[in-house]
Chains A and B, each alone.
Chain A
Amino acid sequence: MDSASSNSRIGFWLVQPFGENTLRFNFETALGLRSSDGVDQNGRPQNISWDRTRIRKIDLQYETARYGTFSFGQGAMASDGLAEEDLSGTGVVQTSSVADAAGGFRFRTSAGVLSNVTIGDAFASLDGGRLGRIRYDSPEVSGFTISASYGEDILSDNSDREAYDIAVRYGNDDLGDFAVRGALGVVWNENGPGTKTRDVVASFAVLHEPTGLSFAAAAGDRDTGGDYGYVKLGYSANLVPVGATSVAVDYYDGSDMVSAGDSSDSWGITAVQNFDQQNVEAYISYRDYSYADTTTTYLDGSSIFAGARWKF
Chain B
Amino acid sequence: MNTKFVTQIGVTALVAGLGAPAFAGPTYENASGGTFRFYGQFNLPINPLMTG
Instruction: Please list the residues of chain A having a beta carbon within 8 angstroms of any beta carbon in chain B.
Output: 1-3, 6-17, 31, 33, 36, 39, 41, 44, 92, 101-102, 105, 107-108, 112, 275, 277-280, 282, 284, 299-312
Q: How far is the CA of A150 from the CA of B33 in the complex (A)?
A: 32
CB atoms of A3 and B52 under 8 A apart: no
Nearest to A104 among chain B residues (CB) is B5
Known: A9-B40, A311-B40. 17 other contacts (CB 8 A): A2-B43, A3-B43, A8-B43, A8-B44, A11-B40, A12-B39, A13-B35, A13-B37, A14-B34, A39-B48, A108-B52, A112-B2, A278-B17, A279-B24, A301-B52, A308-B10, A308-B14
CB atoms of A3 and B2 under 8 A apart: no
Q: What are 26 sample pairs from A and B whose C-beta atoms fall under 8 A apart?
A: A1-B7, A7-B43, A12-B39, A14-B36, A39-B7, A39-B50, A101-B7, A102-B5, A107-B3, A278-B18, A280-B17, A284-B9, A301-B4, A304-B6, A305-B45, A307-B14, A308-B13, A308-B18, A308-B43, A309-B43, A309-B44, A310-B41, A311-B39, A311-B41, A312-B24, A312-B40
Which residues of chain A are within 8 angstroms of B1 by Cβ–Cβ distance?
299-300, 302
CB atoms of A17 and B33 under 8 A apart: yes
A contact patch SS: strand
Which residues of B, 14-52, contact A by the 8 Å Cβ criterion? 14, 17-18, 20-25, 32-48, 50, 52
CB atoms of A92 and B7 under 8 A apart: no
CB atoms of B44 and A301 under 8 A apart: no
Nearest to A42 among chain B residues (CB) is B50
CB atoms of B10 and A307 under 8 A apart: yes
CB atoms of A36 and B39 under 8 A apart: no
CB atoms of B52 and A278 under 8 A apart: no
Give the A-B pair count, Cβ closer than 8 A. 146
Which residues of chain B are within 8 angstroms of A108 by Cβ–Cβ distance?
2-3, 52
Q: B39 → chain A, closest Cβ, in Å?
A: 6
List 8 A-B pairs, minimum CB-CB distance, nearest first: A307-B45, A10-B40, A306-B9, A16-B34, A309-B43, A3-B43, A303-B5, A311-B41
Contacts A275-B18, A278-B22 given: A92-B52 contact, CB under 8 Å? Answer: no
Contacts A307-B10, A308-B13 given: A12-B52 contact, CB under 8 Å? Answer: no
Which residues of chain A are within 8 angstroms of B5 by Cβ–Cβ distance?
102, 105, 301-303
Which residues of chain A are within 8 angstroms of B46 by Cβ–Cβ distance?
1, 307
Instruction: Please list the residues of chain B having a beta carbon within 8 angstroms of any beta carbon in chain A.
Output: 1-10, 13-14, 17-18, 20-25, 32-48, 50, 52
B7, B10, B36, B44: which contacts A12 (Cβ < 8 A)? B36
Contacts A15-B34, A16-B34 given: A299-B3 contact, CB under 8 Å? Answer: yes
